[in-house]
Amino acid sequence: MKQMKILVFVSLFVLSIIKIQAQTRLTTPELSQAASVTQSIGLTKITIDYHRPLVKGRKIWGDLVPYNEVWRAGANKNTTIEFSDPVKINGVDIPAGKYGFHTIPAENEWTLIFNKNNAAWGSYFYDQSLDALRIKVKPQSAPFEEALTYYFSNPEDNSVNVVLHWEKLAIQFKVEVDVKELVFKNMKQELTNLPGFYWQGYNQAAQFCLKNNIHLDEALKLIETSINKNKNSTNLNVKADLLEKTGNKTEADKLRAEALQLQQKK
C-alpha cells in the first residue's frame, strides 16, 4: 500500500513538471512554415492547409519521404483539404467536408488518400478504415521547388486541378463541381429569405434555369410566382421564353404581345 502511494505521488509529480514546462515554454517559429491556399469554383470553395518543408540539399523521394509508406503530404500536422460542397475528384464523388490528405508515394504511381480524420498529427495516427476516398495518380517531372507548395491550375467554369509540387516532382488531381445544380439549389434557399418577398428573385432563378436548360418545370412555377407578385414586361418575357422552350409557342407569342403592351404603357 505504501509503495502504491509512493508510485501515485511520483506520477503526479512528473505530470506537474511536464505541465509546468509546457506552460513556461515560449513560442518559436516552426521549421516548416504554415500555409493555406483557397480556390472557388462557382459557389464552391476549396481550401488546403499545410506546412512547407524545405529541400535543404536532401534527397527527398525514396529517402526523406520513403516510397510505399503513408506520408502526411507536408510537415507537422496532417495536410487538410476542405470542400464546401460535394465534388468529384478525378471523376469520383466525395461529400462536402474537411479531410486529412495523405499520400503513398512510389516511383511510378502515387496513392492519394482523403481521410475523415482531419485533426491528426502527421500520418502517425492514420487509420485506413476512415478513408473517404483513394485515387491513383502518376507523378510528373517539374522544375525545382525548394519549399513544398500546393497550388491550383487550369481553372475552368466547373473544375480546377490541385497540384502538389516539391523538389523536381509534381502530382495533381482534378476537382469538378456541378456548378449549375449548386447555384440553383442556393437560389431556392435564398428565396426562403428576404429575396423571397419580391418578384425579382423568382424571375432571376427562372432566367438561370432557362439559360442553362435545367429544371424548366420548376422555372415555370418560379416565374408564375414572380408574375403574381408583380406582373411586368420582364417576367412575362421570361415566361414566354420558357413556354416556347417547352413547346408552347402559341402561348409564348400571346405573352410577348402582352409584355409589349405593358412596356408601351410606361
Residue pLDDT, tens place only, 193-230: 999 999 999 999 999 999 999 999 999 999 999 999 99
Q: pLDDT at position 3, please?
A: 55
Q: What gap in Å lies between CA 34 and CA 22, rounded to an integer?
A: 21
Rama region for 50: left / alpha / beta (φ>0; ψ in -120 to 50; rest): beta
Query: Which candidate, 100, 13, 90, 117, places its Cα nearest to that of 49?
Result: 100
**CATH ID of 179-265, from 2.40.10.120, 1.25.40.10, 1.10.10.10, 2.60.120.10:** 1.25.40.10
pLDDT band per the 50, 70, 90 thresholds, residue 32 = confident
* Mean pLDDT taken over the chain: 91
pLDDT tens for 108-125 read 999 999 999 999 888 899
CA atoms of 174 and 135, how far apart (whole Å): 11
Q: SS3 letters for the chain?
A: CHHHHHHHHHHHHHHHHHHHHHHHCCCCCCCCEEEEEEEEECCEEEEEEEEECECCCCCCECCCECCCCCECCCCCCCEEEEECCCEEECCEEECCEEEEEEEECCCCCEEEEEECCCCCCCCCCCCHHHEEEEEEECCEEEEEEEEEEEEEECCCCCEEEEEEEEEEEEEEEEEECCHHHHHHHHHHHHCCCHHHHCHHHHHHHHHHHHHHCCCHHHHHHHHHHHHHHCCCHHHHHHHHHHHHHCCCHHHHHHHHHHHHHHHHHC
Question: Which pLDDT score is estimated for 22?
Answer: 53
Residue 8: the pLDDT is: 46
* pLDDT above 70 (res 18): no
Q: Which sequence spans correspond to the domains of the chain?
A: 30-176, 179-265
User: Does 4 have pLDDT greater than 60?
Assistant: no
Per-residue pLDDT at 13: 47
pLDDT of 126-177, one tens digit each? 999 999 999 999 999 999 999 999 999 999 999 999 999 999 999 999 999 9
pLDDT for position 44: 97
